[in-house]
Structure formats: structure tokens, C-alpha cells
Amino acid sequence: MSKSLVIVESPAKAKTINKFLGKDFVVKASVGHVKDLPKSKLGVDIENNFSPHYEVIKGKAKVIAELKKYAKTADNIYLAPDPDREGEAIAWHIAEEVDGKGKKVYRVLFNEITEKGVTEAIKNPASLDRNKFEAQQARRILDRLVGYQVSPILWEKVRRGLSAGRVQSVTVRLVCEREREIKAFVPQEYWSITAELKNEEAGGKEGQGASFKAKLIKRDNKKIELKDEEETNKVLQEIEGKDFVVRDVEKKERKRNPLPPFITSKLQQDAARKLGFTAKKTMMLAQQLYEGIELGEHGSVGLITYMRTDSTRVSADAVKDARVYIYAKFGREYLPAKPNAYQGKKGAQDAHEAIRPTYFEYPPDLVKKYLSKDHFHLYQLIWNRFVASQMLPAIIDQTVVSIGADRYIFQANGSVIRFPGFTAVYTEGGTHLENGSDEEEDAEKLPLLEKNDILNVLGIMPKQHFTQPPPRFTEATLIKELEELGIGRPSTYAPTLSTIQDREYVVKEKNQFVPTELGFIVTDLLVKSFPDILNVEFTAHMEEDLDMIEDGRLNWLDAMKEFYTPFKNSLERARVEMKDVKREETATGIKCEKCGKVMVIKWGRNGRFIACSGYPECKNTKEYSTDENGNIKAVENISEKTDEKCPNCGKPMVIKTGRFGRFLACSHYPQCKTAKPLSMGVKCPVEGCGGEMVERQSKKKKIFYSCSDYPKCKYALWDKPVSENCPECGFKILTEKGTKSGMIIKCPNEGCKYNREQ
């Protein structure tokens, strides 16, 4: 008897779906894309309507052969890759490869991997979506045209291995521009005055014994700004000895509404803030939660809906399940009379629901024992946000007290949560509130105060402040910026942030993105030569065009032609006019000690260095430093003997400092040129990796530690590794870091809070 063939992307999803469909179905996985543009060439025939040349991805011939075998005997073929543009492209390419002649080929979309979701999708299949496929194809070709035609120019002018991209290059530009804002920022002095007050006038009144603080806000009913100490002292003199009298007490009820369930970008932002996850890690964990996790006797269960979405829409069944859960767990008083509904953002694609739990019989605490620590924390975050989205608002009693001191007005604010509402389940907290507020809802409670109360002054505290520069981007804030500017889509944020780090355009310092010298150089070159590609509005417009192609409102070829004509002109100019950083030399005034010629600043693979202008006859090179006056000074290499012997000649190994930081080298150099990274004596903690942690130096001359098996293993740390297992999570190493209060030992495993003083 023939069976129907269902083709999904991942083996994990295939396993979960298989148990729902029964013996009449065979479920197989394509393991991602099966065809793509070739790696070795452009693969786009620009002169022939941008016709792409797809080829089978290396290693996928065997997968395609297996799918063809099952397709031959199947009555029906259901193509079920992920329900987005990438998934649609995979479905089209599979359809082209498997022999579907005479067979019924359908496209099915699984928004959730549940029995109901899967069986309903199979019962109501659709056709392949040409518009969605063409939108993905247009994006792929655009990215290929930019990457494969701009990158070689960077190889020629800067160094090999660099890349450019529509979204990635704009993202690096944002980081560079923010850094320049920070460097150009000039702090402005300002002062504040705070009074510590107490009401003892009517001591019998309950709550009047506590002291509280009030801040100076007005003079003569106008906002006051104190620019320096002199101005501040004048105010202090004026209010000295004056009565502080309560002029007004305003009490009002404020509601804080719950937030909508997660869309992709908000999940990435919250996971970064609360769990310390990178966007890449968040999406990997979410993909696994969506495809299915083994829950003991329950088998493989898809715990969340599809994780790439920018819609806040949820199904009526899901809302009903949430309301039943809230009623049972929290009571009727937490449940709104009608379900909460949320307005989607402008331009949001509404094909998929928001990210939410699929089964309410699997609350986080019940399945915790089956999940890894990271899976549990992310699942709990998604669960709590969705439950909270269907609860009543929090009700806050807010009190604002105005206190007069002659012509000056001080203000005290207090708030008390009268009803926690949704905050019983979920809060963002601190300065990360999405409604723009930076208030802390647990602010101290003010004592009981009434109009005309005369207050005792316990102290007047002037304080000097300085305005702060804009903060560097974190993963959360950079994703938020990209989202607000309309750059990229839910599926592109994580790979973009990974790529700009892999290309060494930016590095992370204390979880903040800092552009490297290379990032600045490449950005400046691209901004000058490709102003459109590096333009935020232009990039956002291209994203809108892709959405219009998907909706059938724009022909993909028209979009390509509109893009390529000006781009081609920029390409031709850039090949001729772009500054050749590789060959650029700047004289230093320092003489080469080997041949007497002038040393010049050059750009190399590892940044700027000074070299003899007599190259190639003289190959003398050195690191250099620049003092505050811009004077250049050569940095001599130093060496330090160790007990380790050279494995090749037996001479002592020495620690040297070069362009790459410290390393071990044979003391018998140049006769013996043996060298290797400086090992920390700590094994790499990545499962299955046999490398060890070694000391390296970043482009900004900062020490870090990474696996000796790089680039195969990319594990790296800023803090010095220690060969000790974490007593809380079992991670294979700890790290040590010096602080003002001493040495701190902590666990580098994301999500683990273990730390101790040494």
C-alpha cells in the first residue's frame, strides 16, 4: 500500500511529526536547504533577467536520492519546511528535485508541532507560494550581488577574507557611528539638590515618623537647571533656614498594562537582558523547543509555536487555554472580562502567530527535569510572557508631593503596587520597560503627608553630575535599533550579529559592541563608495520591497532592476576610486635600526604596524604606540624564559610579545623558528573538543583567551580561565577576574550565576 510522503527540514521535527500521522505517512527530513547558489562564483546571470544558477549543495545528493526514492511510491507529497520565506525556497527546490510527475504535491505549514496543528495542516494543504519564493529569491540574489561584487574590492584594497552585505554593513555602520558619538561627546556639568525631610508635626498620625527624600525641581514655578557649584551654592544660601511646607499632595491610580506575547525580536532582546543569551543562541534553543524535545513517556513534544514571526496574533484556542490556566492558578480577580488583544506593528507579516506555548498541560516546572538549563529558562520566559499577556493590568497607587521652600519647589514621588496583575508572572523591570518608563514600581512608600504640613529638614545634599554619552549597543539594543529602523527581518538579526563578529568588524567588551579599527576602515570606505548600500533608509526601503514581492504587489525583477542600475555604477567607480589601504604608507620619522631608512605606518592583516620603507630588501617590522600628542614610538618585542623545552631542538622556550600578543617561541631563533600559542593549562570546555585554552590579543591590544583549535572551535573568554568545574552547573571551567575589592571566581556558562571571592 502506498503512503503519503511528508518532507520537513530537521530530523527532530520529523520524529515529532511522525507520531501524529500514523502508518499511512512517511516523514523525512531534508536537513535544511538542498540547493543554493554556487560558492565559487556569482551564480547570477545579470544580463538574463538576473537568472539564478542553483546547484545541489555539497553532501545533499544522498538526501535528495532518498527523498526521490520515497516520492516514487508515494500517492501524495507534502512539503513542510518551516513556514517562512526560507522554508518556501527549500520546498520549491525539493519539488524541483523529487519526481513529482503524476503525484499531488502540496505545501503544508506547521505553525505549531502539535497533533492538532499537524493534522489540521495536512487536512488543509495549500499550493507552493510563488510570491513568497520569489521574495526569498530576490533577497538571496541581492545579498549575492552585494557580497560577491563588493567583497573582492575590499580584498584588493584592504585584505583578503573580508565581506560586505546589505544588512551586515549597515549594522556595522550603526555601531561605528555610535562609537564616534561616544568619542565626540563632551560631558556637561550639572548639579542636583536633594532634601531629606521628616514630618513630626502631628506625631499621632500613622506613618508620619519615617524620613523621605525630595528633589529640587522648580524656582518661581519654572523648571530649574543648576549648571555649576557656584549657582548651586547660591540656591543653598537662599533656602537655608526656610520652612519646608507641603503645598500639595496628589494621589492617582495608574495602570500598567501587560505586554503582548513575544515576537522574534522581542524574544531575542529579553533573552539577552534576562538570560544573557546571544541572539544566535536564543534562536537555536527556540528552534529546538519548536521542533520537539523528548519528554520521557510523552515522547518528542514541540513546546512552542514557530519562532520566526513579527505578529502578536494568537489563536482563539490558545487564548482560551491561557484563561483557563490563569483562572485556576491565580483566581478570577486576575482575569480580564474579555481576552486581551494586541495591535501588531506597522508592516508586520501576519502569517504566523506570536511565539507562545503549544500545550498548557506542560508548564515549565513540570517539564524542567527533561530540559537543559538553557532550554528551561527560555521556555519559562516564553510561557510567562504569554500567560501575562492575558492577565489584568497592574494597579499602582502613585503619590506626588510638592514641597515649598520660599520660591523653590521640591518634589517627592512614591508608588505602591496595590494590585500586581500580570506582574505576578512577568516583569521586564528597571530601565528596560517597553512602554518607555524607567520608573521602578517598588519605589519606597512615602509617609502620610497632608497639605500645609511643616517638615523637619534633616539634611540638604547638593550633588555634582555630568551628562553621559549614549551607551554602546548590546545585542538587545542593537536588535531593537535594527527593528525600529526597518533593517532586516526576524530571521536575519541573529546571523547578522554573528557575522559582524566573525568578520572582526566588531568585538564584544562587557557584552557591548565595540567597532574594531578594521570595522571603521571598511565602513568609511563603503560609505564613500556605496552611499545607497550603507544608507539606513535605502536598506529599509529594500526590506519593504521584499515584503511587497511576497504580497504580490511588486514584481521581483522590477525590484532587482531598480536596485542594480545605480549599484553597478557605484561598483565601477569603487574599483577605480576606492582608497587602497593595503598600499598606503605614512612616514613616521623613525629610522630603521637595520638599514637606516625611514619606518612607515602600513596596514596588514592584523592591523597597523610600522615597517621599513626599504621593503622587500629590508623586512624589519615593529608594533608602535601613539602618545597623547600623536607622537609615534616603536614598541620593542620582549622575551621571558620558561622551563619548557623546544620540541624540535631542545633549547629553552621563551615568552615573546608580538603583533598577535604573547606567544611561546624557541630561544634559538632564527635558526629554529618553532612557535606556539601561550597555553593556560586549561582544557577547552566545549564538548568533544580536544583543544586547550591559550592566551591571545585582540585588535585593540586587549588580552583574551580562546581554544587552541581555532577556527574549528571558536570558544573564547575575556577573563582568565581556571581549571575547576563549576559547583552549581558542572561547567568544566571557571574564570578569574580582578576587581577593586579583590579577585572574583565565577562561572562563564551563560545563565549560571555562580561566583565567589578568592
DSSP state of 432: G
Distances in Å between the Cα of 254 and the Cα atoms of 401, 420, 476, 676 are 16, 12, 28, 64
pLDDT of 636 > 70? The answer is no
Strands 4-8, 25-29: pairing is parallel
Per-residue pLDDT, 352:
80
Dihedral sign of CA atoms 428, 431, 437, 439 in order: positive
8 A C-beta contact, residue 229 and residue 464? yes
Instruction: Give the containing element (helix H, strand E) for 588.
Output: strand 586-591
DSSP state of 138: H
CB contact set of 698 (below 8 Å; sequence gap of 6+):
507, 516, 704
Q: Which residue bears the cell 494597579?
A: 395
* CA nearest neighbour of 410 among 246, 556, 273: 246
pLDDT tens digits, one per residue of 63-101 = 999 999 999 989 899 999 998 899 999 999 999 998 656
8 A C-beta contact, residue 706 and residue 720? no
Given the candidates 3.40.50.720, 3.40.50.10440, 1.10.580.10, 2.70.20.10, the CATH classification of the domain at 189-257+394-466 is: 2.70.20.10
Paired strand residues for 214: 195
Per-residue pLDDT, 744:
87
pLDDT tens digits, one per residue of 127-159 = 999 999 999 999 999 999 999 999 999 999 998
Per-residue pLDDT, 531:
93
Per-residue pLDDT, 680:
85
Instruction: Give the containing element (helix H, strand E) for 509.
Output: strand 506-509
Tell me the backbone φ, ψ of residue 434, rounded to 5 degrees: -75, -15
* CA nearest neighbour of 492 among 177, 265, 176: 265
* CA nearest neighbour of 139 among 84, 194, 57, 188: 84
Q: How confident is the model at residue 348 (pLDDT cuts 50, 70, 90)?
A: low
Given the candidates 3.30.70.890, 1.10.290.10, 2.60.40.10, 1.10.3660.10, the CATH classification of the domain at 264-389 is: 1.10.290.10
Per-residue pLDDT, 697:
79
Q: Which residue bears the cell 620603507?
A: 613
Per-residue pLDDT, 740:
65
pLDDT tens digits, one per residue of 710-740 = 888 889 998 899 988 888 888 899 999 877 6
Average pLDDT, the chain: 89
Instruction: Give the containing element (helix H, strand E) for 461.
Output: strand 454-466
Q: Can you tell me the distance from the alpha carbon of 21 to that of 115, in angstroms, rounded to the nearest whole number?
A: 8
Per-residue pLDDT, 315:
92
Q: Where are the alpha helices (DSSP H) in 552-609?
A: 556-577
pLDDT of 576 > 70? The answer is yes
306 labelled catalytic: yes
Q: Which DSSP string corresponds to 207-252?
A: TTT-EEEEEEEEETTEE--B-SHHHHHHHHHHHTT--EEEEEEEEE
Range(s) of the chain covered by CATH 1.10.290.10? 264-389
At 751, the amino acid letter reads G
* CA nearest neighbour of 453 among 195, 193, 197: 197
pLDDT of 432 > 50? The answer is no
CB contact set of 561 (below 8 Å; sequence gap of 6+):
none
Q: Is 283 in a helix, a strand, or coil?
A: helix
Catalytic residue among 306, 379, 505, 715: 306
Distances in Å between the Cα of 64 and the Cα atoms of 28, 67, 70, 101, 252 are 11, 5, 10, 16, 66
Q: Can you tell me the distance from the alpha carbon of 20 to that of 174, in angstroms, rounded to the nearest whole number?
A: 47
Q: Can you tell me the distance from the alpha carbon of 141 to that of 89, in angstroms, rounded to the nearest whole number?
A: 13
Q: Label residue 296 left, alpha or beta by phi (over 0 means left) and psi (-120 to 50 means alpha).
A: left
pLDDT of 104 > 70? The answer is yes
Q: Can you tell me the distance from the alpha carbon of 110 to that of 121, in angstroms, rounded to the nearest whole number?
A: 6
Does the domain at 4-128 match CATH 3.40.50.140? Answer given as yes
Strands 104-107, 76-79: pairing is parallel
pLDDT tens digits, one per residue of 669-722 = 767 878 888 888 899 998 888 889 988 877 666 788 999 888 888 899 988 999
pLDDT of 462 > 90? The answer is yes
Per-residue pLDDT, 665:
84
Give strand ranges (E) for 627-757: 632-635, 639-645, 652-658, 661-666, 675-683, 692-697, 703-707, 716-717, 720-722, 734-739, 742-746, 755-757
Q: Can you tell me the distance from the alpha carbon of 307 to that of 476, in angstroms, rounded to the nearest whole number?
A: 17
Per-residue pLDDT, 194:
97
pLDDT tens digits, one per residue of 208-219 = 558 899 999 999
Range(s) of the chain covered by CATH 3.40.50.140? 4-128
Range(s) of the chain covered by CATH 1.10.460.10? 138-185+475-577
Distances in Å between the Cα of 651 and the Cα atoms of 71, 491, 640, 671 are 66, 54, 14, 11
The C-alpha cell that represents 386 in the structure block: 504569554
CB contact set of 299 (below 8 Å; sequence gap of 6+):
16, 19
Range(s) of the chain covered by CATH 2.70.20.10? 189-257+394-466
Distances in Å between the Cα of 447 and the Cα atoms of 206, 209, 249, 400 are 8, 7, 12, 12
pLDDT tens digits, one per residue of 504-520 = 899 988 889 999 999 99
Given the candidates 3.90.550.10, 1.10.340.30, 1.10.10.60, 1.10.460.10, the CATH classification of the domain at 138-185+475-577 is: 1.10.460.10
